[in-house]
Structure 1
Amino acid sequence: MDRGLGKRARQCWLVAHVASSVGWFGVAASQLALKIIAHTTDSDAVRHTDHLTAQVFDRYLMIPLVLVALGTGLVLSLCTKWGLLRHYWVTAKFVLTIALMIADTIWMGGWVAEAVEYTASGGASAAPGYRDTLAHLLAGSVVNLVAILAMVVLSVVKPFGRTSRGRRVVRRVRPA
């Protein structure tokens, strides 16, 4: 059933994958909480601290956790019966992970850096563009959390069945 992984190795990879994914979800939820606090507070000092914390979470937690989740997911998909392109749910999780990784690195990281700059000198609420940046951060955090939840649903429900490639592989292994 598993191509190249013994039972213990598969279990170790699976534990690493689930742990990194849960960590990723936790950081995304924390990021959303920070954005909500920054959006609702009247204190520029609190906003600045929130954005600095979000920047640290992004650089030192979010990106490494996404990379570990991606790497362990690739190992599990390539070395088990699921395959990377054999089932729609695995392919969808892979595409969502890559999309979130790119979006988080390019857009969210840039918006957090902008928010830190806006709040560094105080008076952020009066700075032109700060409210737009804050709205982008809030929306991006919601999208992140919803996408990660969608990946959890995909992992549990495993919808849509096999891809055409997966059906061909099954026909080759089990001729009619």
Structure 2
Amino acid sequence: MILSSGWRKIWLTMHVMSSLGWFGAVAVFLTLALVGMTSQDTQLVKASYLAMKLTGWFVIVPFAFVSLGSGIVSSLGTKWGLFRYYWVLLKLVITIGATFLLMVHTQAIDLLADIAAKTTVLSVYPYGMQLKMVVTSGATVVVLIMLTGLAVYKPRGMTPYGQRKQRQGTAQKNADSPVRATILK
């Protein structure tokens, strides 16, 4: 099913905006994680981890799911399809993986925010968890840039499913052709 031009633009706009929002929110999250790990100001560290929890749950998680869902709808409603081209399939797999890992990492974010809410002592923050927040949010920025590159450059290559669908479409067009129908009579 191909979406009408108006609906395609609506879903594409939703996908682009949520993807940009996801990227921007992760960049903010990375900044907060760096401040939380490196600052010696207890109030700043506390504020960083509390803001990370809010940013994670109320901005990053929703943007990740809207980006995933709108990307699926957009691909299903256009000539690209969901499984026809490797670049679309790769974007899908990476986005599902990134969203899954995000949900796993929310536990660590919640723990750091809970520590921040209960103490003003810097030494109680688990350094490994602080480092994990910096590394994973930095890696997420790279992954989101890579996903954007895939969408912009659209590397060639159809999946076997896409090649089969293309052959079926060509065969159907030939069968429906008035010239072909005349020749077959």
TM-score, normalised to structure 1, is 0.92
- Aligned-residue offset at 1:110: 1.2
1:64 aligns with 2:62: yes
Determine which of 113, 116, 122 is the counterpart of 2:113.
Answer: 116
- Which residue of structure 2 lines up, in the alignment, with residue 46 of structure 1? 44
Residues 95-142 of structure 1, C-alpha deviations (whole Å, 9 max, x = no match): 111111111111x21111221233331213x22x61111011011101
- Give the length in aligned residue pairs: 171
Give the number of the structure whose alpha-carbon radius of gyration is greater. 2
- Which residue of structure 2 lines up, in the alignment, with residue 143 of structure 1? 139
Counterpart amino acid of 1:114? L
- Which residue of structure 2 lines up, in the alignment, with residue 20 of structure 1? 18
1:103 aligns with 2:113: no
- Aligned-residue offset at 1:49: 0.7
- Aligned-residue offset at 1:4: 3.2
- Which residue of structure 2 lines up, in the alignment, with residue 174 of structure 1? 170
The secondary structure found in structure 1 opposite 2:155 is coil
Q: Would you say the 8 A contact 1:114–1:133 is kept in 2?
A: no
Gaps of 5+ in 1: none
Q: How large is the Cα RMSD of the aligned pairs?
A: 1.5
1:130 aligns with 2:117: no
- Aligned-residue offset at 1:40: 1.9
Counterpart amino acid of 1:66? A
- Aligned-residue offset at 1:143: 1.3
Gaps of 5+ in 2: 175-185
1:152 aligns with 2:139: no
Q: Would you say the 8 A contact 1:24–1:65 is kept in 2?
A: yes
Residues 55-82 of structure 1, C-alpha deviations (whole Å, 9 max, x = no match): 0011111111111111111111111111
Q: Would you say the 8 A contact 1:118–1:130 is kept in 2?
A: no
Matched residues in 2 for 1:113 and 1:160: separation?
41
Counterpart amino acid of 2:100? I
- Which residue of structure 2 lines up, in the alignment, with residue 29 of structure 1? 27
The secondary structure found in structure 1 opposite 2:79 is coil
Structural mapping, 1:60-99, within 5 Å: 60-99=58-97
